Amino acid sequence: MNTPLDSCVLNALRATFRSGVTFPEQFRMTQLQNLLYLVEENEQLIQDALHKDLHKPKFESVLSEIQITLNDLYFAMENLRTWMQPEYNIGKNLATRMDDCFIRREPLGVVLIIGAWNYPLHLILLPLVAAIAAGNCAILKPSEICQATEQLLAELIPKYLSQDCYAVLCGGAEDTKSLLKNKFDHIFYTGSQVVARSILLAAAPHLTPVTLELGGKSPCFIYGHIDIQKAAKRLCWSKFFNTGQSCVAPDYVLCTAQTRDALLPALRETLRTFYGPDPGASLDMGRIVTPHHWRRLMDMLEKSKGKVVIGGESREEDRYIAPTVLVDVQESDALMQEEIFGPILPILTIESLEEGIDYINRQEKPLALYVFSDETSVVTTVLNNTSSGGFCGNDGIVHMALPGLPFGGVGASGMGSYHGRWGFETFSHRRGCMNRSWLLERVNVLRYPPYSDYNLGWLRWATTFKKNSWGGCSVM
Amino acid sequence: MEMQVVQRARENFLAGRSRPLEFRVQQLKSLQRMITDRQGEIATALKQDINRSQYDTPLLELIGLENEISLAVSKLAQWAAPRPVEKSLLTISDQVYIQPEPLGVVLIIGAWNYPWALTLQPLVGAIAAGNAAVVKPSELSEYSASLLKALLPRYLDQELYPVVCGGVSETQELLRQRFDHIFYTGNSTVGKLVMEAAARHLTPVTLELGGKSPCYIDKDVDLRVACRRITWGKFVNCGQTCIAPDYILCEPSIQNRVVEGIRQTLLEFYGPDPKSSPDYGRIINQRHFNHVMALLDGYTAALGGQSDSSQRYIAPTVVKDVPPHARLMQEEIFGPLLPIVTVSDIDDAIHFISEREKPLAIYVFSSNKKVIKRMLAETTSGGVTVNDVMMHYTLNSLPFGGVGQSGTGRYHGKHSFDQFSHHRACLVKSLGMERVNMPRYPPQNHQKARRVRLAMRTPLVDFSKGTYIWAVTASIVALGLLVTLTVILILAAGVSCTCW
């Protein structure tokens, strides 16, 4: 991939966008329908590619890649007409009562979507659904780390979707850098903070708005009165799903020593039920994506001063790491300096909820925060005293499957959001429109020079916000 | 110094001081008092900065600000409350909502053309959303900046909402600090620098920039009214408004009538000598005066054209038949020069606009619904006013912001509150209903996979209108059938009863 090729593709897409072909509802619906066929008709190929790249169990591929994409497509297709309607139900005031005031949602232009390797299908297709629904053209840049999925997307997208409007460009870090020299109307990136900074720097000279879906260390409180067996099940499921390689996986646990002592046997039992005595032999256990990431995780584990109480086994040849739990982990531990993104679960012991909350607030704002507790006061206290992209009480990850909730980070975990309608809004411009009536020119006269106290007095009276009205107006 | 100011604001934010709703309301009401009590001083400062007429100050800056504050005070509890979200069958017994939360410490960089409105309106949003805010007024409107620095600490909490004055180097120092959001109003050159600085800390930004806002006048329109409205919008604040109509597009056949309409209006507004009208402003400084005058080089004005450098006065000026490649047409004018570019028809006008960067505003004057519809559908811009200029800015239920080169993000009214908030997605489940969860756990098999797939299918995951209508209709039909059955049974019982 080289710069002239990117520019050619980009220029072609821009010309298509200018022609207005992506604007009509029918066009968008057809493309979304075709994307639906792409996923439905190639399920087996998708599963095979994901297994090749990530050793992803079929169940996980279906749940977290195929079905989540299909759901977002159904949701978008069902709601597209509503989303596209101008919004008329906005407050007016005395002065604009005779006017037509509304908000239009308009496409931005040509957008760039950069995918990630941990969920290589849905992390690129869900933003694409939103971009199509909002009437844009798009360039997709799938992660080069998952080569089988990357190639499959490069092959299938042009077969099912309009080649004039959507293109897949493949390549590595250097190719992405050169792609970013071009101007886009929006950049959607999922990945790491380091790369996110360089994307923002590349976007600044073009004043391109950016959505960043990053990550962080998502804490998980287990506190107060709780059914430890159920909590352990849900925790294990969300932690070890995709071998811990989820941006919203619970990164570490905060609990009292007492809870920890009850938790460990529950975790052991759950892991045995899930994966059997040897998780390495279980079909439901995945692998680490690359040797580089495997080494990174093993380094962290080796440098950690915590005590391994569950798991710890590993195999370099197939990048296997067993579901591993450590206790006696301190704030300064190697495992607590960066997002783990693997099947390693440190447990930090706290004396009180406040201590845990203080600890969390000393770190960067995470993408997700979890609390397992039967006590409403515990959930409320944590919610009110922390911030995070999203929050889930008494479960893990599942909040991101609800199309009604925005999915995105805050602070170092990202900016902007998507899923469902939120994705549509992300890829749209909200244009405020006022269609003034020709009448009432006698009233308009109040605003014109030559100015006078008399006119100003009337204007002030007419335009001052009245408490029970919907909006205010400053100048007639 | 800047670092300490930001640090103190952060400490106070982390202590939770800016969060309670009562505190936010109290601060907003105090800001309201500042504007009401100090109107005279504000008007004086603006007169010194930009020769703003005493009427333009409330009209263009203060009334709008007061309305924003009143709206925020009145609606704050509603805006800050958890926002419930559509549930699904799977989450029917869970709490699912979006909780707006403060971002932290925000930086607000104001502009010089409306130094009070453009600095304090974002501040209203920042306070309402529960943040701390560092306020950096523009140094070009120096009297207003000094006055703001003197007044704000007397009305608002000094630690949470400090004012930092200064020029380029102070702004650069501020931009080196870490903020949770930066709100900048100004030009795109500095906008890019702000975005670059923000990139280092992964800070989101709102950029309210500008551009050349076109004004299309259709031929079959009441030119008298149209010209009056355009003249008002163009020459108020001496053309130094980000949403002023920058240039006119019209057919050659009406160009002279447009010029005549503007001429007559100028006479009504400012008299035969605008220089002596108390209602006509001045250019902010010598540099900008020279810049605007240079744009006129080589062109003869159809109206106006006079200037007086010692007063930074430029007469309301109209130039006819301006070619698209003229310097006047290459950059935002931001002054009282109004070029007219002729186009052959609406197609030509739309093409002209679409070839250029997305503007902050588009204006179209027409009585023809089709023309209006086409202009709306085939162009894009930050906002639009049809058959008037600038008025979309004044309705705070409309989002105000740019797109592309004219900016990113939006504010006014509730949009300000939302811009300065993080919308946290919250799902609070119970540990009950675990049987429903069972199919998702390993070890996996076909039956479990099928069950999970079924449970995840959209009609269950998405409790949409269609499903709801189906459910209600089905219930009504079922009830109807039950009632019918009951009636039949009763009748049948009656027939077989001998007591009839």
CB–CB contact B434 A233 (8 Å): yes
Supply the DSSP symbol for A62: I
CB–CB contact A96 B391 (8 Å): yes
Chain B neighbors of A22, CB-CB under 8 A? none
**A465 phi and psi angles, rounded to 5 deg:** -65, 125
Chain B neighbors of A71, CB-CB under 8 A? 456-458, 461-462
Which residue of chain A has the CA closest to B69? A465
Q: Does A104 touch chain B (CB under 8 A)?
A: yes
CB–CB contact A62 B453 (8 Å): yes
Tell me the C-alpha distance between B38 and B54, whole Å.
13
Structure tokens at A200: 């923002």
pLDDT value, residue B500: 44
Cα distances (angstroms) measured from residue A210 to each of A103, A412, B403: 22, 14, 13
Prediction pTM value: 0.93
Q: Which residues of chain A have pLDDT under 70?
A: 1-5, 94-95, 464-476
Q: Does A474 touch chain B (CB under 8 A)?
A: yes
What is the residue type of B313?
Answer: Y
pLDDT value, residue A48: 96
Average of pLDDT values for B111-119?
96
| Portion 280-299 of A in contact with B at CB < 8 A | 282-285
Tell me the C-alpha distance between B212 and B241, whole Å.
11
Helix H, strand E, coil C: the string for A374-443 is CCHHHHHHHHHHCCCCEEEECCCCHHHHCCCCCECCCHHHEECCECHHHHHHHCEEEEEEEECCCCCHHH
**C-alpha B333 chain-centroid distance:** 21
Give tens-digit pLDDT for A185-201: 999 999 999 999 999 99
Write down the catalytic residue from B215, B227, B238, B242: B242
| Portion 258-297 of B in contact with A at CB < 8 A | 268-271, 277-280
Give the DSSP per-residue string, A166-192: EEE----HHHHHHHTTS--SEEEEES-
Cα distances (angstroms) measured from residue B18 to each of A466, B96, B101, B102: 26, 26, 11, 9
pLDDT value, residue B497: 52
pLDDT value, residue A10: 95
Tell me the C-alpha distance between B495 and B500, whole Å.
8
CB–CB contact B410 A201 (8 Å): no
Structure tokens at A25: 């509802």
Contact A149, A53 (CB under 8 A): yes
End-to-end Cα, chain B, rounded Å: 100
CA B376, A73, A286, A410 dihedral sign is: positive
Tell me the C-alpha distance between A73 and A35, whole Å.
8
Q: Does B405 touch chain A (CB under 8 A)?
A: yes
| Portion 145-204 of B in contact with A at CB < 8 A | 180, 188, 191-193, 195-196, 198-200, 202, 204
Chain A neighbors of B86, CB-CB under 8 A? 404
Please name which of A393, A389, A413, A418 lies closest in space to residue A403, comparing C-alpha atoms.
A418
pLDDT value, residue A442: 72
CB–CB contact A274 B207 (8 Å): no
Partners of A101 in the beta sheet? A434
Q: Which helix (H) or strand (E) holds B488?
A: helix B465-496
Q: Does B447 touch chain A (CB under 8 A)?
A: no
Phi-psi region of B104 (alpha: psi -120 to 50; beta: other; left: phi over 0): left
> Which of helix, strand or coil describes residue B250?
strand
Distance from CA of B204 to the nearest CA of A (A): 6
CB–CB contact A273 B67 (8 Å): no
Chain B neighbors of A473, CB-CB under 8 A? 67, 394-396
Structure tokens at B445: 């098999």
Partners of B102 in the beta sheet? B421
Contact A138, A111 (CB under 8 A): yes
CA A192, A198, A202, A207 dihedral sign is: positive
Write down the catalytic residue from A60, A65, A213, A425: A213
Give the DSSP per-residue string, A118-153: SSTTHHHHHHHHHHHHTT-EEEEE--TTSHHHHHHH
CB–CB contact A433 B384 (8 Å): yes
Chain B neighbors of A448, CB-CB under 8 A? 228, 232, 268-269
Please count the other Cβ atoms lying within 10 Å of the Cβ belonging to residue A87. Answer: 17
Match 């692998």 to its residue by tokens: A287
Helix H, strand E, coil C: the string for B181-240 is EEEEECCHHHHHHHHHHHHHCCCCEEEECCCCCEEEECCCCCHHHHHHHHHHHHHHHHHC
Phi-psi region of B151 (alpha: psi -120 to 50; beta: other; left: phi over 0): alpha
CB pairs < 8 Å spanning A and B: 346
Residue B208 annotated to the active site: yes
Which residue of chain A has the CA closest to B117? A474
Give tens-digit pLDDT for B206-231: 999 999 999 999 998 999 999 999 99
> Which of helix, strand or coil describes residue B321?
coil
Average of pLDDT values for B13-33?
97
CB–CB contact A474 B67 (8 Å): yes
CB–CB contact B429 A197 (8 Å): no
Helix pair A122-133, A68-84: axis angle to 10 deg = 10
Write down the catalytic residue from A247, A255, A339, A425: A247
Contact B233, B389 (CB under 8 A): yes
Nearest neighbour of A67 by CB, restricted to B56, B377, B456: B456
Tell me the C-alpha distance between B219 and A20, whole Å.
26
Tell me the C-alpha distance between B80 and B73, whole Å.
11
pLDDT value, residue B402: 97
CB–CB contact A393 B429 (8 Å): yes
Please name which of A238, A18, A317, A218 lies closest in space to residue B350, comparing C-alpha atoms.
A18
Question: Number of helices (H) and strands (E), helices first, in chain B?
Answer: 19, 16
Asked whether the predicted pLDDT for residue B251 surpasses 70, the reply is yes
Q: What share of chain B is helix, strand, coil (3-state, %, to 5)?
A: 50, 15, 35
Average of pLDDT values for B481-489?
93
Contact A403, A420 (CB under 8 A): yes
Give tens-digit pLDDT for B380-403: 999 999 999 999 998 999 999 999
Tell me the C-alpha distance between A298 and A282, whole Å.
21
**B433 phi and psi angles, rounded to 5 deg:** 55, 35
Suggest the residue from B18, B59, B381, B386 to mutate for an interface test with chain A (most A CBs closer than 10 A): B59
Q: Does B208 touch chain A (CB under 8 A)?
A: no
Residue B426 annotated to the active site: no
Select the highest-mean-pLDDT range: B51-60, B345-354, B433-442: B345-354
Tell me the C-alpha distance between B464 and B86, whole Å.
8
Phi-psi region of B109 (alpha: psi -120 to 50; beta: other; left: phi over 0): beta
Contact B372, B349 (CB under 8 A): no
Cα distances (angstroms) measured from residue B57 to each of A88, B231, B289, B382: 31, 18, 22, 25
Which residue of chain A has the CA closest to B83? A405
Cα distances (angstroms) measured from residue B423 to each of A379, A462, B8, B151: 18, 35, 25, 33
Q: Which helix (H) or strand (E) holds A253?
A: strand A252-255
| Portion 293-352 of B in contact with A at CB < 8 A | none
Helix H, strand E, coil C: the string for B266-297 is HHHHHCCCHHHCCCCCCCCCHHHHHHHHHHCC
pLDDT value, residue B123: 98
List the Cα angle B366/B372/B374 in 5-degree steps: 140
Which residue of chain B has the CA closest to A451? B55
Tell me the C-alpha distance between A432 and B410, whole Å.
10
pLDDT value, residue A475: 42
